[in-house]
Structure 1
Amino acid sequence: MLSGSIQISGETLSSAEVKDICDSLRTNSVRLLSLRGCHISDRDFHRISRHVADCQSLAQLNLNLGVVSNINRVKQLAEALASNRSIHSLFLHGTPLTDSGLAILNPVLSLHPSLISLDLGDCILGDEGMNLICGMLPPDGAKSGLKELTLSANPAITVKGWARLAIAVAHSSQLRVLNLDYNPLGDHIAGMLAVAVASSRTLEVVDLEGTGLTNQSAQVFLDMVENYPTSLRTLILAENNISLELQQQISDLLSEGEEEEENENEGQEDAERQKEIWIAQSNPESQAILMSTHLEDSLLAETEM
């Protein structure tokens, strides 16, 4: 059976509906489970958690907007994640998690073999929680880590916490998307983040919408993208006290860098194709080998399908 999705938003789930969800998890027939803002009894949440633990098909789990509403549910989710091996995206946006709740989840989140995307936006986190999060962004070569991290709207995190994140991002070998929108960062913290972005070899998207920045921060980012090589492709600066002119300049430079990289990749592909054609035409034996290799690849693909 092909894996499908279950997406329910803002409803009170009956025991019968929960049974259907559990059956789908038990038979490994669901890939995406989204219960965003749903009201679930403690007993039914426990049932769902037990089946999440054993499900081998589940790739995305969305429990945004208070579904994990108390510490007991946090513990049950941690137990489920400790056994689960398939989830690669976990969304807990709007969960009253706090640093204490994240401390319970942290061991299983850090060791989960498949998790690459984590949303902890609006989870009432502080500096202690940030220290735990930075542990999920291991230094180069240590182990695989998160590729996408959302920390929107966690205003209790201080300058110390954001500095810790900047250091972790600068040395993370995996992170590609970082969403920090609607945090009171200001120009000082943005400057630290600019250094981290410049140091990262993988970070492609940074969301700083509504973070209290001014033209001062924009000038720093403009200088970075104009004068230094970076992997950055998208920088979101909306709802800040930044001129539209500066925002457009940064956007144009990032677009130019992306176009140059695409042209370079196309040039490399053309060169490889030309080299293959030249070898095949200049040597009949090589031609036979190339044709045979392509045919074998095709047959192998069909066999796998």
Structure 2
Amino acid sequence: MLPGSIQITGEALSGAEIKDICDSLKENSVRLLSVRGCQLSDRDFGRVCRGVAESHSLAQLNLNLGVVSNINRTKQLADALKANRSIQTLFLHGSPLLDAGLVALNTALSTHPSLVSLDLGDCMLGDEAMGLICGMLPPDGAKSGLRELTLSANPAITTKAWARLAIAVAHSSQLRVLNLDYNPLGDQIAGMLAVAVASSRTLEVLDLEGTGLTNQSAQIFLDMVENYPTCLRVLVLAENAISPELQQQISDLLSEGEEEEEKDSEARGSALPPREKPTWVPHSNSSSQVVLLTSGLGESLLAETEM
């Protein structure tokens, strides 16, 4: 029997339900486990972590919306991740990790052999955490790193730390999707990110929705996509003080670049396999933008963008 999924949202989980979850994990019959926003005792959380540690089938773990509610749970999760070898996607969106929590998780996250997608949105992170996150984006020629990273809504991170992230992105050999929406970045950091995008040979999706940008940033991105080759396919600029005309120009140029790449690939024939393409859907807040929902990166499954 192929591994299935367990998805529960916003419920108080009983001991019997936790036992069923743990049994399924230990029997390797679960590929996706989501208990987002659920309430469970500290004892039961520890039981789930032990099940995660023993599972060989679990590819996606969703603990969004406060399930990892204190430092003790964070340490239990870290121990589980150190033992687990199969998880590829981890959602911790809306967990009060703080910098101390990421310090506790750092070794487990940075050395996990399969993890390629990580959501740390709205985790109350600061500059110390950002330094550790940059270490998860190794430079070209180093070990494999994250392919998808979400850092939405972490307003305590300073300009200096965002600049450090931009440098890491520029040299990362793996990162394809970067979600920075709802952070107070401003035009200065956006300019640094434009340089990082131009330098990256892999980044395809950059979400800058609601990040305090103006037409100044948009003009920089427009110049970049108009005059320099880039892997970027999607740039989300909704809910910024940017004119619809500029957003449309950027979107059109990105679409043209993708069409030209497809034509070049066809002209070269089938000697090389086509590059993996993400799956897109229209962004709800802007007719001219598109935003990533499913990535197609290895075994990475459904991604979330929760606020």
TM-score normalized with structure 2 length: 0.88
Distance verdict in 2 for CA 1:152–1:270, change over 3 Å: closer
Structure 1, unaligned runs of 5 or more: 273-305
Q: CA deviation at 1:264?
A: 1.1
Does the C-alpha gap of structure 1 residues 271 and 136 become closer, same or farther in structure 2, counting only changes over 3 Å? closer
Q: Give the count of matched residue pairs.
A: 272
Distance 1:270 1:175, change over 3 A: closer
Residue 208 of structure 2: aligned partner: 208
Instruction: Tell me: CA distance 1:216–1:27, structure 2 relative to 1, closer, same or farther (3 Å).
Output: same
Paired with 2:46 and 2:130, the residues of 1 have a C-alpha distance of 28
CA distance in structure 1 between the aligned counterparts of 2:59 and 2:97, rounded to whole angstroms = 22
Alpha carbons of 1:8 and 1:271: their partners in 2 closer, same or farther (altered >3 Å)?
closer
Q: Which amino acid aligns with 1:195?
A: V
Rg: which structure is higher? 1
- Identify unmatched segments of 5+ residues in structure 2: 273-307
Q: What is residue 238 of structure 2 aligned with on the other side?
A: 238
Structure 2 equivalent of residue 51 of structure 1 = 51
> What residue in structure 2 maps to residue 301 of structure 1?
none
- For each residue in 1:183-221, what CA deviation from the matched residue of structure 2 results, as whole angstroms up to 9, or x when unmatched? 000001100000000000000000000000000000000
Q: Name the structure where helix makes up a greater proportion of residues.
A: 1
Matched position secondary structure for 1:163: helix
Query: RCO greater where, 1 or 2, for CA within 8 Å and sep 6 or more?
Result: 2
> What's 1:102 paired with?
102
Q: Per the alignment, in what secondary structure is the counterpart of residue 166 of structure 1?
A: helix
Equivalent runs, 1:1-305 vs 2, <5 Å: 1-269=1-269
- Partner Cα distance (2:152, 2:176) in 1: 16
Give percent identity, aligned residues only. 80
Given the two structures, how large is their TM-score scaled by the length of structure 1?
0.88
Q: Which amino acid aligns with 2:38?
A: C
For residues 258 and 150 of structure 2, the distance between their equivalents in structure 1, rounded to whole angstroms, comes to 24
Q: 3-state DSSP class of the match of 1:235?
A: strand
Alignment-mate amino acid for residue 71 of structure 1: I
Cα distance change on mapping 1:19 and 1:255 into 2, 3 Å: same
CA distance in 2, matches of 1:267, 1:3: 40
Aligned-partner SS, 1:259: helix
Instruction: For 1:263 and 1:36, locate their aligned partners in 2 and report how far apart those are by CA, in whole Å.
Output: 42
Runs of 4 or more above 6 Å deviation? none
One-letter amino acid of the counterpart of residue 79, structure 2: E
1:150-204 CA deviation, whole Å, 9 max, x = no partner?
0000000001000000000000000000000000000011000000000000000
Tell me how large the CA RMSD over aligned residues is.
0.9
Separation of aligned partners in 2, 1:161 and 1:86: 31
Deviation sequence 1:18-51 (CA, Å, 0-9, x none): 1110111010000000000000111110000001
Distance 2:268 2:17 in 1: 53
1:270 deviates by 6.1
